[in-house]
Amino acid sequence: MPKSIKEIAFVVSLGTLLSKFGGMARQLVIAGAFGISSAYDAYNYAYIIPGFFLILLGGINGPLHNSMVTLLADKNKVESKLFISSINNILSLILLIISFLIFISSDIFINLVGPNLTPEIKEIAVSQLKIMSPIIFLSGLIGLGFGSLNAKKEFFIPSISPLISSLIIIIAVSNFWINKETSVDIYELNLRGGVILAKATFIGALTQYLIQIPFLIRKGIFTISFSIQTKYSELKRAWEMIAPASLSSGMMQINVITDLFFASKIVGAAAALSYANFLVQAPLGIISNSILIPLLPVFVSLRARENHLKLIKKVHQGIIISSSSMVFLGSIFISLSSPIVILIYSRGSFNQNAIDVVSQLLIAYAIGMPFYLLRDLLVRVFYGIEDSKTPFRISIIAILLNLFFDWFLIGGTSPWGELSPINLGVNGLVYSTTFVNLFACILLLLKLNNKLDNLRLSKIVSQNLRIILIGLISGTSSFFIFKIIYLSHNFFDLLFKIIMSSGISLIIFYCLAIILKVDDIDSLNKFLKEKIIRL
């Protein structure tokens, strides 16, 4: 019996929630063991390229995953098996060559992504990149497998797989943290810790691929073949979707590369960006997967012109849930940034300087949360109607804009001095990404309006302005509620204050949404009830 959208959303939410808890535990251990030291700063540069491929191709809800769901939707078991094998062979060969090139030229690539790194950080990063370069090859296998499993209605294993990777890193880094000797030379300690972290990351990625094999075999779509047996027209259709979709969905990762390029002159900036970004990505990932994964098959099924009104209704509902959830969470992160960072990270090597830097970055990231998820939602709509070229073109423009604003917002450094009157430091890099995502959302909406009749852009804008106003009021409320709850600053009291102020703020947000007549608020209400009751 086919699974309903609610059942799929529940399975994905549960798996994603477990994975996010695992990811949070991983970040807690890394923060305690490394803080914003050279080892973790170097790791963020070394992981840029392998991570780009792993997130882009191997990630659930990534372009390869989404493309496979769309392309396998109308294929039987035999056709699916041949199609997956053919795509796998082509992609694996390409990625194997890239992995080898990265391995032998790791020092060159580290110099490219972090030209202003200190010699110590650069040397550690080169060693880490050599270890993690095979992840590039594994990313294609992971993405194809998980996309194939989702297309055949297997959702739990893909959504829980990051948990396995996190557990491996937690074990390895915890062992290093417990047994590290403070008397050892600081460089040797950072190098040893960095190598352990890189090895654990590689083993985690390998495990993500291995755990999917039994499930692929059970679904009858696992095969090892070195021939290409799919028709050329089918392969052409696949690459016409996968290639542009990869770049359009990879905008965030490409922006991360440009961000770290400019951040390389600020010691500790990469580590701080990673810690702040994780706090945003954890809840965002849960909500994103809960909304986007169940909706993608719906968009695919409604792409016929006679179903456009139903498609528009689903798009409106998706936008309201996305905007409402992200604006609310963003308002909490902004109003309670310091308490949240203290609660999550303040232990071990994570000192007061790290708290101050990460708190400011959390505010910057929170401002851009609604635009990030809305862009992802709109891109999935285009995937659903088999138009990956429009997001691709918009992504090209957005990447160039991000490059410019990264440079402009941190002073416009040049051989002739700083050419820009604005220098926001590392925060400027995050604000640049926020502006670029907003720009992408506007263009995607305009293009979608041309493709779908009666999209009602004015209604979408007015609804979102109301949601932002509600977010400002509820966020301000959470700030003052936190202040008036007088308790000590130990872990449990701080946790209680954050929960209480956030909970009351949520009630205020929901009540104001009803008063200001935000459309489809019942959809959000049902969405929240399902998460609370089932999880």
Q: Which two tokens stand for residue 8?
A: 């799929």
DSSP state of 180: -
Q: What's the rounded Cα separation, in Å, for the pair 62 and 91?
A: 15
DSSP state of 226: -
Beta bridge partners of 423: 410
Q: Does an H or E element contain 500, and which?
A: helix 491-515
Q: Does an H or E element contain 413, and which?
A: strand 413-414
Helical residues (DSSP H) of 180-268, grouped into ranges: 186-210, 213-219, 232-249, 251-263
- pLDDT per residue as tens, the chain (535 positions): 345 555 665 666 676 677 778 888 888 888 888 887 788 889 989 998 898 888 777 666 566 656 666 666 556 566 666 666 777 777 788 889 999 999 999 999 998 888 888 888 899 999 999 999 999 988 878 877 776 676 666 666 766 778 888 999 999 999 988 887 665 678 888 888 999 999 999 999 999 888 888 877 776 666 666 555 555 556 666 666 666 666 656 666 677 778 888 887 777 788 888 888 888 887 787 777 666 666 666 666 665 555 667 777 778 888 888 888 899 999 999 999 999 999 888 877 787 888 888 999 999 999 999 998 888 888 878 877 777 778 878 888 888 898 888 888 887 665 445 666 788 888 888 899 899 889 989 999 888 888 777 777 888 888 889 999 999 999 999 999 998 888 777 788 888 999 999 999 999 998 888 888 787 665 555 555 554 444 4
Q: What's the rounded Cα separation, in Å, for the pair 270 and 43?
A: 9
Burial of 309 (0-12, 13-18, 19+ CB in 10 A): exposed
Q: What's the rounded Cα separation, in Å, for the pair 124 and 100?
A: 19
Tell how far CA 114 is from the center of its chain.
Answer: 22
- The SS3 assignment for 458 reads helix
Q: Give CA torsion, residues 196, 199, 201, 205, to 10 deg.
A: -160
Which backbone phi and psi does 270 adopt, to 5 degrees?
-65, -45
The dihedral through the CA atoms of 339, 255, 98, 241 has a sign that is positive
Specify the pTM: 0.74
Q: What's the rounded Cα separation, in Å, for the pair 64 and 146?
A: 9
DSSP state of 410: B
Non-local (6+) Cβ contacts of 186 within 8 A are: none
